[in-house]
Structure formats: structure tokens, C-alpha cells
């Protein structure tokens, strides 16, 4: 079992080296722009996807140990949808507002408008694969719970080899855009492979519609919210013009972001995504429990 994991790690490290190597054919400004865009795009993975997916291992392991495979499947669908409820709107938000985000954070000094444009395009392309990262993070935890680590190693090995080829082809044909796009394409291909693999696993009652329907709903709600918010941002940009441009950008983006979140949450609630109701009930129960404990403390005093 150790050999496949070791080989996977070697190829994974080599694929990352190949990404960095292909980037050296571009100018220093382009390299910096790609690095900035990648740093922003990986924030959801570092701050949300990885911590949440690590917590899921005991849940899936408990279901497996008790032979509760039906419950394992339900938890898999539910937790995957919950993570998508967070990750997909972030991805769409990056796609719609990448130019403004990069402009606010980095467009100053030697980092000129051309570099900001490269970073903006790269952020859009990096963001496409965010949903795939979350899907594969949760799926890999199911593999671990089922002690199917060999499957994880083989799939990771194949995607590392595939990503090297995709990167080479895309960089040759598309220039700097090939680097972020190849990463997103690779993770999407891995997601498709995971779906195929899960469909062959008789332990997990996997149905593609259990994944596809929530994804399409959430993506549609996020896109609708994004379109409305971009229109609002454009109107605000014409109306609110301050002497300091950076303050105008921050103010307009902040207002548009609040509307984006509000519209998205409203759509999810109105169209009754089950996991939203589930989270809402947990929130209400937590508030009631906190309120009740505070009341009891006051009574004792």
C-alpha cells in the first residue's frame, strides 16, 4: 500500500514543479500576477474546504464501522451540498468581481494595469475548479472511511499525469491563461472520474442526480445573484465617485457584495434547498439553547 502512495506523492510534486517551470517562460510581471491570483483562489481551499473535510473523517468512519452505509450516503450528499453552498458562490463571486478585487488589493506601484488584467483573468480561471476541490475533498474522506486508500492513490496519480499533459498543451496554445485553466480542467476531470468510481461502488448508493441537481441549483442561484450584483456595482460606480478612487472601489464592492449574499441566501431559502433548512434549524436550535442557558444563569443569580 505504501508504494502507490509514495509514487503518487512523487508525481504530485513533479506536476506542481511542472506548473512552476512552464510559468518561467513568461515575464516577471505575469509570474507575479499568476502568483497573486493563485493566492486568492486557494484561500477558500485553505480556510473552508480543508478544515471542514478533515472534520468529516470521524463521521464517515463511524457510519462505516457500524455498517450504516445508507446513513453514510445521506451524510455524503448532505455535507457535499453544504460545502457547495459556501464554495460555489465564492467561485462565482471571484469570476464576476475578479477585476475589482485585484484592483483593490494589488494595483499599485510596479503592479500596473496590465499585470492586474493578467491577475484578474487568472483568478477567473482558477475559480472554475473550486467546486471540484470541495467535491474531491469530501469524496477522499469517504475513501478513507471505507479504507479504499489505493483508489485514492491511483486516481491522484492519474490526474497528476493528466494535468502535466493538459498544462503543456494549454500553455502552448493559450499562453499564461493555460496555467490556471489547466488546473481547473484537471480537477474537473478528477471530479468526473470520482463520480464514475463511486457509481461502481456498491457500498455507497451513489446516484449522479444526487450530486448534479444541487450543483445546478446552487450555481444558478449564485449566477443570478452575481448578474444582479454586477449591474448594481456598475450603477454605483456611476453614482458614487469619490476623490480617492480606492475608497470608491471598496465602498461600491462592499455594497454589491452585501446584495450578492442577500439575494443568494434569499433564492436558496425560497426554492427550499433542503440543506439550507437543515442549517437554519441548527442555527435556531443553537440560539434557543444559548438563550435558555443565559436565562437559567440569570434566574440562579
How confident is the model over 143-199, as pLDDT tens digits?
777 777 676 677 777 777 777 888 888 888 888 888 889 888 888 888 887 777 776
Q: What is the Cα–Cα distance from 79 to 227, expressed in whole angstroms?
A: 27
Which band of pLDDT confidence, cut at 50, 70 and 90, is reported for residue 296? Answer: very low
Q: What is the mean pLDDT of residues 225-250?
A: 85
pLDDT confidence of 99, banded at 50, 70, 90?
A: very high
Single pTM value for the model: 0.84
- Report percent pLDDT > 90 for the chain: 23
Q: How far is CA 186 from the centre of its chain?
A: 14
Report CA-CA distances (Å) from 110 to 21, 27, 104, 118: 24, 13, 14, 14
Q: How many CA atoms lie within 13 A of 206 on its CB side?
A: 18
DSSP state of 26: S
CA distances from 220 to 40, 123, 193, 223, 227 (A): 23, 20, 24, 5, 11
CA 118 from centroid of its chain's CA atoms: 21
Q: How confident is the model at residue 207 (pLDDT cuts 50, 70, 90)?
A: confident
Amino acid at each position: 500500500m505504501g508504494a502507490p502512495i509514495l509514487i503518487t506523492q512523487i508525481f504530485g510534486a513533479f506536476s506542481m514543479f511542472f506548473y512552476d517551470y512552464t510559468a518561467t517562460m513568461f515575464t516577471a510581471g505575469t509570474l507575479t500576477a499568476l502568483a497573486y491570483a493563485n493566492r486568492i483562489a486557494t484561500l477558500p481551499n485553505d480556510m473552508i474546504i480543508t478544515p471542514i473535510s478533515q472534520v468529516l473523517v470521524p463521521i464517515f468512519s463511524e457510519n462505516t464501522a457500524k455498517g450504516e452505509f445508507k446513513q453514510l450516503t445521506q451524510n455524503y450528499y448532505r455535507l457535499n451540498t453544504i460545502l457547495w453552498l459556501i464554495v460555489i458562490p465564492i467561485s462565482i463571486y471571484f469570476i464576476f468581481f475578479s477585476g475589482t478585487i485585484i484592483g483593490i488589493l494589488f494595483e499599485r506601484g510596479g503592479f500596473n494595469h496590465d499585470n492586474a488584467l493578467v491577475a484578474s483573468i487568472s483568478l477567473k480561471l482558477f475559480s472554475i475548479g473550486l467546486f471540484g476541490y470541495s467535491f474531491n475533498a469530501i469524496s477522499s474522506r469517504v475513501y478513507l472511511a471505507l479504507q479504499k486508500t489505493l483508489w485514492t492513490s491511483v486516481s491522484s496519480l492519474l490526474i497528476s499525469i493528466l494535468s502535466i499533459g493538459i498544462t503543456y498543451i494549454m500553455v502552448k496554445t493559450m499562453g499564461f491563461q493555460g496555467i490556471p485553466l489547466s488546473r481547473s480542467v484537471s480537477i474537473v476531470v478528477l471530479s468526473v472520474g470520482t463520480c464514475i468510481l463511486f457509481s461502481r461502488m456498491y457500498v455507497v448508493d451513489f446516484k449522479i442526480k444526487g450530486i448534479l441537481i444541487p450543483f445546478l441549483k446552487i450555481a444558478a442561484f449564485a449566477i443570478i445573484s452575481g448578474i444582479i450584483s454586477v449591474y448594481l456595482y456598475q450603477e454605483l460606480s456611476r453614482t458614487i465617485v469619490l476623490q480617492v478612487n480606492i475608497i470608491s472601489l471598496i465602498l461600491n464592492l462592499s455594497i454589491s457584495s452585501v446584495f450578492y449574499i442577500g439575494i443568494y441566501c434569499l433564492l436558496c431559502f425560497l426554492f427550499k434547498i433542503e440543506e439550507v433548512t437543515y442549517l437554519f434549524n441548527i442555527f435556531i436550535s443553537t440560539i434557543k439553547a444559548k438563550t435558555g442557558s443565559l436565562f437559567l444563569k440569570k434566574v440562579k443569580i
